[in-house]
């Protein structure tokens, strides 16, 4: 951390940064600990759906936030908070406190990732805001500074900074890049009504308490890692797994129909993304992904259907 003396930016500056959504290729959940958290092992892949945050320095100490829906944004942005409960706002405050900045900032979020969809859109906002604010305020933040601030904001935020494909341990924030080959093509079936991550974990705990599942100490799946290293989409499709999937499906039974439709369209693998309700299907090619998407749209089982590819980049500066 820099000196506790507050400083003012010498040059008023506007910076725009972009961060990717993610899909969990593996999400293994251990039993809840005494601290209330579950040990996780997850394999993340960043995909080409994006959140874009613009940060413009103010000459006062205020932080403001506005949110705009992107052209293909699924759902209503009315539920996105515009105050200090928003992760992007909290990211700006974290940077300001860390580096003793006295200036304010105007934040604008262009959303392209579903809200409460299990694809870490809010975490992407936080990552993009960390980078945009630190650049706009000329903080000189290092990669290590940003990772530390990201980990304090949420378990998925460090990966949104890193991007590409990575293994996450602990709460998912202890990251190691994963070796991959080639490009993977995805179809995401999204619902306008989200699922609450705490509710999904609570249902998972209920299933454990009822003896419906016995969580083991999570470990990295060698099948997932082998498929990534080989660039073998069919192998990866067979290896996709999510320990929260049964809990999400029990809270939103309509998602069964989405998964069945994707399998009927010959998807290589289908999995609930994170805590849901977004369903991810792995395709064999970009054309195959378009075919699956067409079948899902025709079946009317999802509100929005998008295609994307991965691995995508981590947080990048687009302007400034």
Each residue of 75-86: pLDDT tens digit? 677 778 899 999
Statement: the pTM of the whole predicted model exceeds 0.85:
yes
Is it the case that residue 9 has pLDDT exceeding 70? no
| Catalytic annotation, pick one of 103, 125, 145, 156 | 156
111 is catalytic: no
CB 194 within 8 A of CB 113: no
Look up 60 and say whether it is catalytic.
Answer: no
Residues 250-290: tens digit of each pLDDT: 999 999 999 999 999 999 999 999 998 999 999 999 999 99
Of 141, 136, 139, nearest to 11 by C-alpha is 136
Residue reference for tokens 């990211």? 91
CA 101 to CA 60: how far, in whole Å?
A: 11
> CA 105 to CA 132: how far, in whole Å?
10
Find the catalytic residue in 22, 111, 145, 243. 22
- HSE, side-chain direction, 13 A CA sphere, residue 213: 18
Q: Return d(Cα 270, Cα 120) in angstroms, integer.
A: 18
pLDDT at 81: 86
Residues 6 or more apart in contact with residue 183 via CB below 8 angstroms = 309, 310, 311
103 burial class (0-12, 13-18, 19+ CB within 10 angstroms)?
A: buried
């Amino acid at each position: 951390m820099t000196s506790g003396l507050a400083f003012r930016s010498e040059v008023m500056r506007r910076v725009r940064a972009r961060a990717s959504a993610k899909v969990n290729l593996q999400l293994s959940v251990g039993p809840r600990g005494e601290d209330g958290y579950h040990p996780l092992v997850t394999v993340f892949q960043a995909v080409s759906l994006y959140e874009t945050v613009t940060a413009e320095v103010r000459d006062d100490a205020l932080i403001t936030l506005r949110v705009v829906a992107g052209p293909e944004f699924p759902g209503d942005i009315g539920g996105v908070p515009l105050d200090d409960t928003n992760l992007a706002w909290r990211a700006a405050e974290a940077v300001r406190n860390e580096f003793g900045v006295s200036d304010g900032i105007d934040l604008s979020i262009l959303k392209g990732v579903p809200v409460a969809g299990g694809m870490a859109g809010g975490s992407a906002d936080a990552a993009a805001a960390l980078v945009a604010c630190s650049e706009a305020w000329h903080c000189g933040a290092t990669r290590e500074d940003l990772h530390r601030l990201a980990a304090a904001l949420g378990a998925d935020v460090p990966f949104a900074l890193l991007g590409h494909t990575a293994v996450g341990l602990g709460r998912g924030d202890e990251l190691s890049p994963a070796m991959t080959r080639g490009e993977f093509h995805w179809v995401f079936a999204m619902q306008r009504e989200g699922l609450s991550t705490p509710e999904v974990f609570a249902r998972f705990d209920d299933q454990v308490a009822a003896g419906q599942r016995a969580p083991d100490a999570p470990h990295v799946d060698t099948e997932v890692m082998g498929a990534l290293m080989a660039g073998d989409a069919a192998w990866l499709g067979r290896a996709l797994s999510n320990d929260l999937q049964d809990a999400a499906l029990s809270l939103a039974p309509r998602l069964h129909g989405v998964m069945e439709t994707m399998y009927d369209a010959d998807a290589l693998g289908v999995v609930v993304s994170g805590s849901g309700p977004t369903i991810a299907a792995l395709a064999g090619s970009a054309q195959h992904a378009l075919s699956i998407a067409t079948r899902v749209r025709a079946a009317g089982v999802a509100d929005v259907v998008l295609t994307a590819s991965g691995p995508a980049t981590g947080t990048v500066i687009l302007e400034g």
